[in-house]
Structures are given as structure tokens and as C-alpha cells.
A = this chain, B = another copy of it.
Amino acid sequence: MYYYIHMSNPFGTYIRTQREARRQNDSSFSVRQLATRIGVEPSYLSKVERGETPPPSEEKIRRLANELNDDPDVLLAMAGKVSTDLQDVIRRRPALFASLLRDLKDAPEHAVLRLVREVRDGEW
């Protein structure tokens, strides 16, 4: 017997919006059918979309991202989570990546992107 505090709910709202958009052209994007495809009970997906229950597990969020053609990292972020593979990167070299992230915390997007590009071009 408990209540889920029902504030804003960015994750569920976004999922519902995306699902209904897809549904215009594809009737298989009903709550029931999508729920079945990602492997949960329809009533559960319904509750998640309405924010009556917290977002599902990382795995289910990944399947949602896949079905809805969305970036899993972005959906996970909306759900208040961080991908476990990213957490693993940090956990293997905590001091190093902690300082990198804290330094880049407020860096403008283009600056970070430049670093990404530098790294990708193999400049090290």
C-alpha cells in the first residue's frame, strides 16, 4: 500500500508521446502490443507512461529505445539513470575519469565535441 509521488514524470510523458506518434502510422504501437514486444505487462507500461510507477529497468528502457528509435542514453537519463557500461568506464579508473568529468561539467558543448573529435582522430 504505497503512493508514487507523481511530479512531472518526464520519462513516461515522453514515452507516451513517442508511442502515440508512431501509432499514427502503425497500429502495433498500442500499449498492449508495445508492452508485449519489450517484455512487460501492458498494465505496467500504462502505469509507467502515466508516472504512477517509476521508470523500468535499464534493460527494458533499452528495448523501448530500440522500438521507438531513440537514443538509449537519453532515455536512461530521462529515467534518472546512467548506462552501466558508462559506470564501468568510470569505475575502472575512478580518479582519472572523475577529474575529467568534473572539469568538463560546465564546458560548452563545442569544446567537448572538439575533444571527442581529437580522440576519434587518434591524436594520442
A25 at the interface (CB under 8 A from B): no
Q: Per-residue 0/1 for A13-50: is the Cβ within 8 Å of any B Cβ (1 yes, 0 no)?
A: 00000000000000000000000000000000000000
Flag if A89 contacts B73 (CB, 8 Å): no
Q: A95-B73, A112-B100, A114-B124 are in contact. Are A119 and B90 (CB under 8 A)?
A: no
Q: How many Å lie between the Cα of A104 and that of B124 in the bound state?
A: 11
State the interface size on chain A (CB cutoff 8 A).
Answer: 43
Closest CB-CB distance, A115 to chain B, in whole Å? 6
Interface SS majority for chain A: helix
Q: How many Å lie between the Cα of A74 and that of B94 in the bound state?
A: 6
For A87, the chain B residues whose CB sits under 8 A away are: 82, 87
The 4 closest A-B pairs by CB, nearest first: A111-B124, A77-B94, A73-B94, A73-B98
Interface residues of A (CB under 8 A from B): 71, 73-74, 76-77, 80-83, 85-87, 89-105, 107-116, 118-120, 124
